[in-house]
């Protein structure tokens, strides 16, 4: 049996006035997704467990078959795994975004999608700035991609009572109500945030970005903290060997922790300018070598966070045409196969935030029962079924439903 999973990140949404009352899925031309829904079934899955927020870390672990309550170590440790960063016993790691704050409000969680070269220079200079002021004892900053970086703290500070907020959850809101809080150690992190404001204010990188009418990186933003995780591999749980294609370190980190290989694709960015066809072709080639291939595409989520319905629709259409279509043609050359397509969560163009409404999924393939021939979208999935109320049970449904496990 060959298995394919496609995750159009954040593609689920609510009806939008800009799309004449349709959702982006309803507005998009998606013949291949519609064919999957027609040949199999569509439903919904609660990828956000009660007590958690709808982040890609929680939701993707859930849809890949892992209970976040037992397996989730925090957002930053997942990305540390993707970077090959070995965490020591007692060491904490934080996501360290570069963000744009204007008049005290979170204007952009990505500092205008700042380049890696620019952010590397800013983070290097900030590290020296913080160290010279006695703020960086036990700390180290690790450059990632674009605005996404990490900070480790090996000072012995215990952050278990600390509360932090993802910057993409508070667009346009005052940062004062979302800064690190809880416990006496929040002041340490807030001092770093304040120091970054002072360091970045007149930095040459930001002067140039303002001259070019680009959003400056005004602050670091620390969130998603955690420690070294210990997670059972996917193959030991399900007997299936997997691989991940993604441009996002978070998903690459999850893949590393569950024992999947990350497959490289040239020209992938995480935005709508990504190499969709390259992802499709690498996945096609990988199906001959792996039992399961997962293709994650970040573009719909990023379009949503920018409040851009037009680009969100275009990204969904590109996923359908350049990823799902070619892969379905490849899958049908095997004797036995299954495909699952689902957003990890809703990301709403209207407010640029994630939402914990159970997203739709469609699946088809060998011994997958057919249950209706309606196009794939949120309304039809909600009207159909099944409705999986425990998100991490979806993987068992995908791998085993309709057949004895030994027959797969």
Residues 381, 237 within the same domain: yes
Q: Which of 211, 226, 241 is the last residue of a domain?
A: 226
Rounded (10°) CA dihedral 226, 182, 52, 268 = -50
| pLDDT for the residue 151 | 98
- Distances 82 to 15, 251, 255, 258, 260 between C-alpha atoms, Å: 35, 8, 8, 11, 11
Say if 331 falls within a structural domain.
Answer: yes
Say if 84 falls within a structural domain.
Answer: no
For a pLDDT cut of 90, what percent of the chain falls above it? 88
pLDDT tens digits, one per residue of 386-403: 999 999 999 999 998 865
Instruction: Evaluate if residue 6 carries a pLDDT over 60.
Output: yes
Instruction: Evaluate if residue 188 carries a pLDDT over 50.
Output: yes
Closest CA to 300 of 256, 345, 265, 330: 345
Instruction: Write phi, then psi, for 96 (nearest 5 degrees).
Output: -130, 85
| pLDDT for the residue 402 | 66
- For residues 49 and 52, give the distance between their C-alpha atoms in angstroms, rounded to a whole number: 6
Closest CA to 362 of 44, 28, 42: 42
What is the C-alpha radius of gyration for the chain, rounded to an integer number of angstroms? 21
Instruction: Evaluate if residue 408 carries a pLDDT over 80.
Output: no
Domain count, the chain: 2
Instruction: Give 45's contacts (C-beta < 8 A, 6+ positions apart).
Output: 63, 342, 358, 359, 361, 387, 388, 391, 394
Say if 352 falls within a structural domain.
Answer: yes
SS3 string, 312-341, reads HHHHHHHHHHHHHHHHHHHHCCCCCEEEEE
Closest CA to 248 of 87, 49, 59: 59
CATH number at residue 17: 3.40.720.10
| Rounded to 5°, angle at Cα 406 from 402 and 408 | 60
Instruction: Evaluate if residue 296 carries a pLDDT over 60.
Output: yes
Residues 251, 381 within the same domain: yes
Positive/negative CA dihedral, 223, 226, 228, 233? negative
| CB 359 within 8 Å of CB 9 | no
Residues 212, 239 within the same domain: no
Q: Please state the pTM of the whole predicted model.
A: 0.80
pLDDT tens digits, one per residue of 93-142: 999 999 999 999 999 999 999 999 999 999 999 999 999 999 999 999 99
Helix or strand holding residue 343 (H, E): none
Residues 168, 295 within the same domain: no
Q: Which of 176, 210, 226 is the last residue of a domain?
A: 226
Instruction: Write phi, then psi, for 17 (nearest 5 degrees).
Output: -60, -35
The SS3 of residue 250 is helix
Say if 78 falls within a structural domain.
Answer: no
Residues 307, 348 within the same domain: yes
Instruction: Give 204's contacts (C-beta < 8 A, 6+ positions apart).
Output: none
Q: Which of 194, 226, 258 is the last residue of a domain?
A: 226
The domain in which residue 280 lies consists of 2-71+231-407
Pairing of strands 41-45, 92-102: unpaired
Give 76's pLDDT tier (boundaries 50, 70, 90): very high
| CB 255 within 8 Å of CB 262 | yes
Residues 116, 204 within the same domain: yes
Own/partner pairs, 171-175, CB within 8 angstroms, 24+ separation: 171/106, 171/107, 171/108, 171/109, 171/305, 171/351, 171/352, 171/353, 172/105, 172/106, 172/107, 172/352, 173/105, 173/106, 174/104, 174/105, 174/106, 175/101, 175/104, 175/105, 175/106, 175/219
Residues 7, 145 within the same domain: no
Residues 244, 167 within the same domain: no
Task: Please compute, for residue 12, the number of CA atoms within 13 A of its CA located in the half-sphere on the CB side.
Answer: 31
Residues 258, 314 within the same domain: yes
Instruction: Evaluate if residue 79 carries a pLDDT over 90.
Output: no
Instruction: Write phi, then psi, for 143 (nearest 5 degrees).
Output: -75, 135
Say if 116 falls within a structural domain.
Answer: yes
């Amino acid at each position: 049996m060959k298995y394919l999973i496609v995750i159009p990140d954040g593609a689920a949404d609510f009806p939008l006035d800009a799309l004449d009352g349709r959702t982006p899925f309803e507005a998009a031309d998606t013949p291949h997704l519609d064919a999957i829904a027609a040949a199999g079934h569509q439903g919904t899955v609660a990828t956000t467990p009660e007590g958690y927020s709808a982040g890609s870390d929680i939701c993707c672990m859930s849809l890949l078959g892992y209970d976040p309550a037992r397996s989730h170590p925090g957002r930053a440790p997942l990305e540390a795994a993707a970077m090959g960063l070995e965490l020591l016993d007692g060491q904490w790691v934080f996501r360290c975004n570069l963000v744009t704050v204007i008049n005290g409000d979170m204007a952009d969680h990505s500092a205008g999608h700042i380049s890696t070269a620019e952010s590397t220079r800013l983070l290097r200079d900030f590290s020296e700035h913080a160290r010279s002021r006695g703020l960086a004892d036990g700390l180290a900053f690790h450059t990632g991609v674009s605005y996404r970086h990490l900070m480790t703290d090996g000072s012995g500070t215990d952050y278990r009572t600390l509360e932090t907020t993802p910057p993409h959850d508070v667009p346009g809101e005052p940062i004062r109500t979302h800064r690190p809080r809880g416990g006496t150690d929040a002041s340490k992190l807030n001092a770093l945030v304040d120091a970054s404001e002072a360091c970045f204010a007149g930095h040459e990188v930001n002067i140039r970005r303002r001259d070019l009418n680009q959003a400056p990186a005004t602050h670091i933003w620390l969130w998603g903290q955690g420690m070294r995780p210990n997670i059972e591999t996917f193959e030991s749980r399900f007997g299936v060997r997997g691989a991940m294609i993604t441009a996002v370190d978070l998903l690459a980190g999850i893949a590393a922790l569950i024992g999947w290989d990350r497959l490289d694709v040239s020209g992938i960015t995480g935005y709508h300018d990504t190499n969709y066809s390259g992802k499709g072709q690498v996945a096609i080639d990988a199906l001959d070598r792996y039992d399961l291939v997962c293709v994650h595409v970040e573009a719909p989520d990023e379009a949503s966070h920018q409040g851009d319905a037009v680009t969100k629709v275009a990204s969904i259409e590109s996923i359908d045409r350049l990823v799902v279509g070619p892969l379905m043609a490849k899958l049908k050359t095997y004797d036995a196969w299954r495909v699952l397509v689902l957003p990890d969560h809703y990301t709403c163009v209207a407010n640029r935030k994630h939402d914990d409404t159970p997203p739709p999924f469609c699946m088809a393939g060998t011994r997958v029962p057919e249950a209706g021939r309606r196009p794939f979208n949120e309304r039809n999935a909600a009207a159909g079924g099944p409705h999986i109320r425990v998100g991490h049970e979806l993987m068992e449904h995908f791998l085993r439903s309709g057949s004895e496990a030994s027959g797969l």
